[in-house]
Amino acid sequence: MNALKQYIDLFDEYRDLIEAQSPALLNTLRISAREQLETAHLPRKGSEDYEATDLEEVFSHDYGVNLNRLPFDADPGETFHCDVPNMSTCLYYSSNDAFHSSPTAERNIGQVVVEPFSMAAVDYPELMTAYFGKLAHMSDPTVALNSLLVQDGLFIYVPDGVIPERPIQLVNIFNAALDMMVQRRLLIVVGKNAALKLLACDHTQSPDYRYLNNQVVEIVAMQGATVDYYDMEESTPLTSRVSSIYVDQHEGSNVLIDGITLINGFTRNNYHVEVNGEHAETHLLGMTIASGEQHVDSHTFISHNAPRCNSNEMFKYVLNDKAVGAFAGKILVKPNCPRVEAYQGNRNLCGAPTAKMYTKPQLEIYTDDVMCSHGSAIGQLDEEALFYMRTRGIGIDEARRLLMQAFVADVIDGVRLDVLKDRLHFLVEKRFAGTLSNCAGCMQTCRPNNNNQ
Amino acid sequence: MKEIEKPEKGNQIIEEAAQAEYKYGFVTDIETEVIPKGLDEGVVRRISALKGEPEWLLDFRLKAYRHWLTLKAPTWGHVHVPDIDYQDISYYAAPRQKKEGEAKEIDPELKKTFDKLGIPLEEQLRLSGMAVDAVMDSVSVKTTYRERLAELGVIFCSISEAVKDYPDLVRKYLGKVVPYTDNFYAALNSAVFSDGSFVYIPKGVRCPMELSTYFRINAAQTGQFERTLIVADDDAYVSYLEGCTAPMRDENQLHAAIVEIIVEDRAEVKYSTVQNWYPGDKDGKGGIYNLVTKRGLCRGDHSKLSWTQVETGSAITWKYPSCVLMGDHSVGEFYSVALTNNWQEADTGTKMIHLGKNTTSTIVSKGISAGHSQNSYRGMVKIAPKATNCRNFTQCDSLLLSDTSGAHTFPVIEVGNDTSVVEHEATTSKINEDQIFYCNQRGISTEDAVGLIVNGYAKEVMAKLPMEFAVEAQKLLSVSLEGAVG
């Protein structure tokens, strides 16, 4: 069985339609993607770097694909209000893979460009041509599949020296009355000494259908740029997500990527960071709270290609019920890159006998004057701490919850946006309390139509 | 200001060490019986016939050979094993034995070889009270102290003798821990293994002396495929040492061994290796490809298996001494120092498979890379869902002594339940310049300082080695590092 075949056949049959509905630039990658997929296989469980994850199974389902770019009836801005209290953002929506902006989006006009590819290809052809598809590796079959079928995407550009007043929030919503797969694609270019704070969250509105989000994000951080990318998933047990984030860091840039999975079905997050300039700083944070049969797999690769840069990774998992967690991370320091400091940490709590955790932290170092380390631990809550709390009249469930919250707190504390930090503490608290069952749970606490902050 | 003079002795040691390079690189000129190069079923049958083996063992070899034909050499290691022409190797080389009647006397040339290596084969010359099985090329040459051990019921002999004298025991245990289907090199070894050591410690016996095997490849264009089988019955204890050397040759030679250990209830086995196969010259020419499968099965409750290894030799090392912790409360340990210099490549580590409840394991791995070498730790800790209350601690540190060398760690951890705790830590850095400066200030040359610091760094593992080996291993570390500084 090769699940990719159905997509290659689909492309062959509807190639004209796909290309007609897409900006010309996107069509340039399709031939090489098609060639790549011809001989490729999706990794199965047990393949290198896929110890616990079977992509073949995820992609083999018969999903619908919206090749005709049919608009969905509802305007997500009307039906969905996910506004973080006290946080004033410029809000954008993507319904499946079509982008909409909300009235708040105008707040950063003149500072930041946020456009669908179809517009950006006309407005910023040089930038699009220079950066689109340049970072993502076509050798990864999921990236090749995205390149084969993608018809639109979102382009975010912060010009040199611009520091926008407000963060950008991108709400991705799955909403279709059928099983569906989308190819989301983002291209983010942050100019010299510019800054960007982006909060993306994935939601699913219909819990009865199977959705698959095959996402590719390319981020270019120019000299001295600062990029914060918060990627939160709060979907449903039937939602699958394969996300590949590629980052190119130039001299003195500072990139923070924070992946948070609260509720999901199946998730594979790939982070691929190329540190190409001196004094660049990389922070990769990840937090997963999984129960039921949730499956979360994170794979990170940081390549230090320049001297005197540093990176810091911390991924934390809390697993309950039959949840499966996996983490594989690699730090590579290339020859002649002295004074690199890299730290990688992975801490996991297994809260149930049936929960499983796989971890593979790796170091590959070719320069001697470096400081690199990794640490990984899988364990349980501290019995003594639990006992201490119980002696002070805190019930066992409450005590466990408090300790689990404390366990993930340092990942949340890495967030460089105070209001978001508070919000995450709140969401995590609800998640552990079991009251955050889906987006609806989240919405109850949001203030609908409150766009005046 | 007066210049501080370097201590004379220090210089002397360095000079000695500089000239020493690889002191075991001699070739012994003795008659060797070698079967022609090449590998087919006929060769497998011939090895078996030469050794007068029973039918079942020939069957085992043939099955292994046929399975080997279906396999491809593994490529996942962080080493560059070139395509080996398996038809260009001789699979059996034996120092020619004297005719019947003289058999008890060993060849004087051979004796000289082992004397040079510091292996006292003559029992009356022995001081340390260690029983030795010496294996040259394909066969076991002499086992000392056999009779004294036999009084306690301890069996320590070559595996070919064991096949003849204790066929039931060998048949019961051979291939049970490392089946011939395990991997490419294990299948090859199972097909053509020529000799090795067999140890059986009966119930309740604490082996009174250290058992030791010394392996040496002598003949050119041969491969060495030895097989060691150690069985510790209930409540038994044994400490086993393994050492190896080879001559300096321009060609690469293959060493594909298997070690199988079975530990029953409350028994304990301590297995120590000082691996010093010829590592090749400064330009990476020649050297041994050391592609070895070592695994122990802690079958009994409260059993314990401890691996300690000091790896300084071999052009390529591909070796993962592992513990399968099947019995409840069983303990697995792995202590390793791997030093690579010049163009050596080492990919070594361990697997701890926790199957029994309340099992614990400890891994301490110290890698040292110098010159243009690549040194990798690759490990796996797996806790099965039913293996509750297990505990593992892993620490792997890497020290880089040159900017052209590489140090890598590839650990895998799988935990299948909520009562086990697994911890892993790894660091990579170079020698602290402050420490070297401190030593320099006190008149210790940089080279000596590096030697001191490296020995201090590896001390945790060295402390686990038996005394005799610890001294040798410490010297070995300093010699192997020669030329790595500056």
Q: List the single residue in B400, B412, B417 with the smallest CB-CB distance to A51.
A: B412
Where does the pLDDT of residue A335 fall: very low under 50, low under 70, confident under 90, or very high at 90 and above? very high
CB atoms within 10 A of CB B256: 24
* The pLDDT of residue B117 is above 90: no
**What are the pLDDT digits (tens) for B287-343?**
889 999 999 999 999 999 999 998 888 899 999 999 999 999 999 999 999 999 889
Residue A187 maps to a domain: yes
A 45-84: CB under 8 A from B: 48, 51
State whether residue B89 is helix, strand or coil.
coil
Helix boundaries (H) for A307-417: 383-391, 396-413
Enter the DSSP assignment of B6: P
Give me A27's structure tokens. Answer: 């069509």
Look at residue B4 in the predicted model and tell me its pLDDT. Answer: 40
Residue B177, SS3 per DSSP: coil
Q: Is A400 helix (H, G, I), strand (E, B) or coil?
A: helix
**Do A350 and B418 lie within an 8 Å CB cutoff?**
yes
Q: Tell me if B227 sits within 8 A of B189, measured CB to CB.
A: yes
Query: Please, is B336 exposed, middle or buried when counting C-beta atoms within 10 Å of its C-beta (0-12, 13-18, 19+)?
Result: buried
Residue type, B116: K
DSSP code string of B263-306: E-TT-EEEEEEEE------TTS-SEEEEEEEEEEEE-STT-EEE
What is the residue whose two structure tokens read 């380390």?
A373
Which percentage of chain B shows pLDDT scores above 90?
45
Residue the block writes with tokens 């990318």: A229
Q: What is the arithmetic mean of pLDDT over B168-188?
A: 93
Closest by Cα among B472, B24, B457 to B242: B472
Tell me the C-alpha distance between B331 and A17, whole Å. Answer: 64
What average pLDDT does this structure show over A190-210?
Answer: 91
**pLDDT tens figures, A151-197:** 999 999 999 999 998 899 898 888 888 899 999 999 999 999 999 99
| Residue (of A329, A99, A135, A169) closest to A245 by Cα position | A135
Do residue A375 and residue B403 have CB atoms under 8 angstroms apart? no
Enclosing H/E stretch for B8:
helix B8-20
Q: Whole-number mean pLDDT of chain B?
A: 82
- For residue A113, tell me if it sits in a domain: yes
SS3 readout for B176-218: CCCCCCCCHHHHHHHHHCCECEEEEECCCCECCCCEEEEEECC
Query: How far is Cα B240 from Cα A165, in angstroms, rounded to an integer?
Result: 70
Res. B125: pLDDT tops 50: no
d(CA B48, CA B43): 9
State pTM to two decimals. Answer: 0.83
Nearest residue in B to A362, CA atom? B410
ipTM of the complex: 0.78
Longest dimension (CA), chain B: 81
Distance CA A395, CA A399 (A): 6
Q: Determine, yes or no, domain membership for A27.
A: yes
CB pair distance less than 8 Å for B426 and A350: no
* A426: three-class secondary structure by DSSP: helix
Q: Which residues in chain B have Cβ-Cβ distances shorter than 8 Å to A336? A: 403
* Partner-chain contact A350 B414, CB within 8 Å: no
Q: Domain count for chain A, please give it.
A: 1
A-chain residue closest to B423, CA distance: A377
User: What's the pLDDT score for residue A217?
Assistant: 97
Contact yes or no for A379 and B411 at CB 8 A: no
Whether residue A450 lies inside any domain: the answer is no
Q: Please enumerate in sequence order all residues whose Cβ is within 8 A of that of A269, keeping only pairs 6 or more positions apart, or say none.
A: A231, A241, A243, A245, A259, A261, A286, A296, A297, A298, A299
Q: Which residues of B touch A373 (CB under 8 A)?
A: 425-428
Tokens 């210099």 -> residue: B341
Q: Is residue A451 part of a domain?
A: no
Going by pLDDT thresholds of 50, 70 and 90, the confidence category of residue A441 is very low
Nearest to B22 by CA among B220, B218, B281: B281
CA pair distance A69, A14, nearest whole angstrom: 13
* Cβ proximity of B428 and A372 under 8 Å: yes
Residues near A82 by Cβ (< 8 Å), separated by ≥ 6? Answer: A169, A171, A201, A203, A439, A442, A443, A446
How many CB pairs below 8 Å do chains A and B form together? 122
* Residues A193/A223, Cβ–Cβ less than 8 Å: yes
Locate the domains of chain B by residue range.
23-480
